Amino acid sequence: MSDVIAPPSVKALAREKGIDLEKLAKELGRTSIAREDLDGKSKPAPAGDISYWDVDHSAFGPVSEEPMSRFAQIASANLAAANTLIPQVTHHDRANVTAIEALRKELKSESQVRGVKLTALAFQVKALARALREFPRFNASISADVKTLILKDYVHIGIAVDTAHGLMVPVIRDADKKGLWQIGAEITDLASRAQARKIGPDEMGGASMSISNLGGIGGTAFTPIVNPPEVAILGITKTETVTVWDGDTPRPLPMVPLDLSYDHRVINGAEAARFMTYLAGLIADPRRIMV
Amino acid sequence: MAENHAPFIVLGAGPGGYACAFRAADLGLDVTLVDPRASLGGVCLNEGCIPSKTLLHAAEVIREAAHMDDWGIGFAKPKIDLDALRAKKDDIVGQLTGGLGGLAKRRKVTVVRGTAKFTDANSLEIDGKSWSFDKAVIAVGSAPVQLPGWPEDDRIWNSTAALELRNVPKRLAIVGGGIIGLEMATVYSTLGSDVTVIEFMDQIAPGADAEAVKILAAALEGQGVTLHTATKVAEVAATKAALSLSCEGIFEGTIKADAIIQAVGRRSNGAKVSPENAGVTMDERGIIAIDDSCRTNVDGIFAIGDVTGNPMLAHRATHQGHVVAEVAAGHASALDTDLIPSVAYTSPELAWAGLTQAQAKDAGTPHKVASFPWAASGRNLASGGGDGLTKIVYEPESHRVLGATLVGRNAGELLAELVLAMEMSATLEDIALTVHAHPTLSETVAFASERALGTLTDL
Quick check: B425 and A15 CB within 8 A? no
The domain segmentation of chain A, as residue ranges, is 8-65, 87-289
CA-to-CA separations, B9 to B122, B124, B126, B127, B135, in angstroms, rounded: 11, 10, 11, 15, 6
ipTM of the complex: 0.82
Cα A26 from Cα A131, distance rounded (Å): 46
Quick check: A1 and B334 CB within 8 A? no
Query: Quick one: CA dihedral B22, B23, B28, B32, positive or negative?
Result: negative
* Angle, CA B356 vertex, CA B355 and CA B359 arms, to 5°: 80
Claim: this prediction has a pTM higher than 0.80 = no
B67 classed as catalytic: no
Q: What is the pLDDT of residues A161-215, one digit of tens each?
A: 998 888 899 999 999 999 999 999 999 999 999 988 898 888 998 999 999 999 9
Element (H, E) at A10: helix A8-17
Cα B414 from Cα B257, distance rounded (Å): 37
CATH number reported for the structural domain that contains residue B434 in this entry: 3.30.390.30
For the sheet with B253-257, list strands across it: B231-238, B243-249, B253-257
Is residue A46 pLDDT above 90, yes or no?
no
Cis previous bond, A229, omega within 30: yes
Is the CB of B241 inside 8 Å of chain A's CB atoms? no
Cα B318 from Cα B17, distance rounded (Å): 8
For residue B31, the SS3 value is strand
The packing angle between helices A269-284 and A120-134, to 10°, is 130
Is the CB of B359 inside 8 Å of chain A's CB atoms? no
Chain A: residue whose CA lies nearest to B337: A1
Interface residue of B323, B399, B425 to substitute, partner A, most A CBs within 10 Å: B425
| Same domain assignment for residues B369 and B385 | yes
- Which residues of chain A lie closer than 8 angstroms to B331, CB-CB? 16
Q: How many secondary structure helices (H) and strands (E) does chain A include?
A: 8, 11
CATH number reported for the structural domain that contains residue B164 in this entry: 3.50.50.60
Interface residue of B319, B322, B337, B427 to substitute, partner A, most A CBs within 10 Å: B337
Cα B244 from Cα B250, distance rounded (Å): 18
| Same domain assignment for residues B306 and B373 | no
| Same domain assignment for residues B256 and B403 | no
- The active-site residue, picked from B5, B319, B331, B438, is B438
Q: How far from each other are the two terminal CA atoms of chain B, in whole angstroms?
A: 73
| Same domain assignment for residues B11 and B139 | yes
B220: in domain: yes
Residue B128, pLDDT score: 93
Cα B315 from Cα B300, distance rounded (Å): 23
Cα B309 from Cα B318, distance rounded (Å): 14
- Was domain A87-289 assigned CATH 3.30.559.10? yes
Output DSSP code: residue B427. Answer: B
Is residue A3 pLDDT above 80, yes or no?
no
Chain B: residue whose CA lies nearest to A5: B425
Quick check: A1 and B333 CB within 8 A? no
Q: What is the pLDDT of residues A263-290, one digit of tens each?
A: 999 999 999 999 999 999 999 999 998 8
CA-to-CA separations, A282 to A272, B169, B357, in angstroms, rounded: 15, 109, 75
Cα A208 from Cα B375, distance rounded (Å): 66
Strands B401-408 and B349-354: antiparallel
Cα B175 from Cα B273, distance rounded (Å): 29
B232: in domain: yes
The minimal CB distance from B333 to the residues A1, A7, A15 is found for: A15
- Residue by residue, DSSP assigns B333-385 as ---------EEE-SSSEEEEEE--HHHHHHHT---EEEEEEGGG-HHHHHTT-
Interface residue of A10, A15, A22 to substitute, partner B, most B CBs within 10 Å: A15
The Cβ of residue B285 has, within 10 Å, a number of other Cβ atoms equal to 10
- Which residues of chain B lie closer than 8 angstroms to A5, CB-CB? 400, 425
Q: What is the pLDDT of residues A223-251, one digit of tens each?
A: 999 999 999 999 999 999 999 998 999 99
Residue B1, pLDDT score: 63
CA-to-CA separations, B395 to B136, B196, B451, in angstroms, rounded: 42, 39, 15
Question: Is B356 buried (19+), middle (13-18) or exposed (0-12) by CB count in 10 A?
Answer: buried
Is the CB of B363 inside 8 Å of chain A's CB atoms? no
Counting the structural domains of chain B, the total is 3
- Which residues of chain A lie closer than 8 angstroms to B423, CB-CB? 7-8
Chain A: residue whose CA lies nearest to B292: A1
Chain A: residue whose CA lies nearest to B331: A16
Cα B138 from Cα B286, distance rounded (Å): 12
Cα B399 from Cα B427, distance rounded (Å): 5
Which of the residues in chain B have pLDDT under 70? 1
Residue A49, pLDDT score: 65
B68: in domain: yes
Name the residue among A130, A147, A132, A121 with its Cα closest to residue A258.
Answer: A121
Domain boundary among the residues B245, B264, B283 is at B264
For the sheet with B401-408, list strands across it: B342-344, B349-354, B401-408, B389-394, B368-373
| Same domain assignment for residues B13 and B138 | yes
| Same domain assignment for residues B48 and B132 | yes
Contact of B16 with B24, CB cutoff 8 Å? no
Please provide the average confidence, as pLDDT, over all residues in chain A.
Answer: 91
Quick check: B336 and A2 CB within 8 A? yes
Identify the domain containing residue B166 by its residue range.
156-264
Name the residue among B213, B210, B224, B219 with its Cα closest to residue B179.
Answer: B213
Question: Is B332 buried (19+), middle (13-18) or exposed (0-12) by CB count in 10 A?
Answer: middle
Is the CB of B332 inside 8 Å of chain A's CB atoms? yes
Those of residues 395-434 in B touching chain A at CB distance below 8 A are 400, 423-425
Domain boundary among the residues B297, B328, B359 is at B328
Nearest chain A Cα distance for residue B49, angstroms:
27
The minimal CB distance from B338 to the residues A1, A8, A12 is found for: A1
- Residue by residue, DSSP assigns A161-200 as EEETTEEE-BEETTGGGS-HHHHHHHHHHHHHHHHTT---
- Which residues of chain A lie closer than 8 angstroms to B402, CB-CB? none
Torsion of CA B316, B321, B314, B154, to 10 degrees: -130
Name the residue among B93, B111, B90 with its Cα closest to residue B35.
Answer: B111
| Same domain assignment for residues B78 and B39 | yes
Cis previous bond, A7, omega within 30: no
Q: What is the pLDDT of residues A63-106, one digit of tens each?
A: 999 988 888 888 888 898 899 899 999 999 999 999 999 999 99
